[in-house]
Amino acid sequence: MNAAPAEPILRVVGVTKRFRGLVAVNDVTFDVPAGSICGLIGPNGAGKSSLFNLITGYYAPSAGEIRFDGRRIDGLDTYRIAQMGIARAFQIAKPFPELSVLDNVRIGALFGHAGARNVAAVTAAALELTGLASLADRPALGLTVGDLRRLELARAIAARPRLLAADEPCAGLNPTETEGVVDILRQIRAAGVTVLLVEHDMPAVMRVSDTIFVVDAGRKIAEGPPEQVARDPRVIAAYLGTPAEDAPAA
């Protein structure tokens, strides 16, 4: 699928985040084209979650700009960024345990960026998309890890975002469940939602992403189609923990 290059819906431009002495994100720049799935990968501590926290307003950058649909969002409150159309599926799902699956998803729909319209229909569609319709009346409390991951996606999607930032949606899943999540992410893209994905499951992220960004020690070290990034010596070195000959000096 090689359509004309789409306008970036999200632009991260020279973004840096310092925590006292530590530079968690160091002058990172990337564009997420509208309608794509982009994977954000890198070793532990590379700065992936920090980037998500910057994009979704949990942190303000120390330097740089973040633009969503051409408008600056860096430093805005999380709720304003959510209202503008960015939803986040958290790495650690925190549903309301006593509420039903349906009510958990309904909360996403109620606080969605398009306002509380068509809540029942939007909730039903999100449950259907994530394969949770048959569990709608169960309390979230007893769900399996796989069901919880899909509930987290359903809640985020029910907010009708234009960009979904999904943090490790395949963590802890077996290969069948992972395939299910990959399929859900593709359906989300097909519905016109852009996806930015942090994921440690390499085969899954390589299979589902149109473009991959690789970060290591706070810096972007590679960007491109999955097959190109997988061959990149700097990426291999970052994952193996050995210096690549052509890697920039740290």
Binding site for Mg ion (CB under 5 A): 49
Measured CA to CA, the distance from residue 239 to residue 233 in angstroms comes to 10
The three state secondary structure string of 72-107 is ECCCCCHHHHHHHCEEEECCCCCCCCCCEHHHHHHH
Instruction: Name the binder of 50 from ligand ATP, Mg ion, none, CB < 5-8 A by kind.
Output: ligand ATP
Q: What is the footprint of ligand ATP within residues 8-67 (CB under 6 A)?
A: 19, 22, 24, 42, 44-50
Between 25 and 181, CB nearer to ligand ATP: 25
CA atoms lying within 13 Å on the CB side of residue 237? 16
Give the Cα separation of 61 and 14 in Å (integer): 10
Regarding 250 and contact with ligand ATP (CB under 6 A), the answer is: no
Measured from the CB of residue 46, what is the shortest distance to Mg ion in angstroms? 8
Partner interacting with residue 234 (select from ligand ATP, Mg ion, none; CB below 5-8 Å by kind): none
Q: Which residues within the stretch 63-92 sit at the binding site for ligand ATP (CB under 6 A)?
A: none
**Quick check: helix, strand or coil at residue 186?**
helix
Decide whether 110 or 236 has the Cβ nearer to ligand ATP: 236
Shortest separation between residue 61's beta carbon and ligand ATP, angstroms: 13
What would you measure as the largest C-alpha separation in the chain, in angstroms?
56
Binding mask 120-159 for ligand ATP (x = CB under 6 A): ----------------------------------------
Q: Which is nearer to ligand ATP, 46 or 156 (CB)?
A: 46
Rounded alpha-carbon distances, angstroms, from residue 15 to 65, 182, 242: 6, 29, 26
Q: Within a 10 A sphere around the Cβ of 47, how many other Cβ atoms? A: 25
Give the one entry of ligand ATP, Mg ion, none that residue 108 binds, where binding means its C-beta sits below a cut-off of 5 to 8 angstroms depending on kind. none
Min dist CB 247 to ligand ATP, Å, is 18
- The answer to whether the Cα torsion of 230, 186, 74, 109 is positive or negative is negative
Residue 214: which of ligand ATP, Mg ion, none does it interact with, CB under 5 to 8 A by kind? none
Closest CB to ligand ATP among 140 and 215?
A: 215
The structure tokens 């960004």 sit at 213
8 Å CB contact between 214 and 48: no
Q: Residue 37: beta bridge partners? A: 195
Residues making contact with ligand ATP (CB under 6 A): 19, 22, 24, 42, 44-50
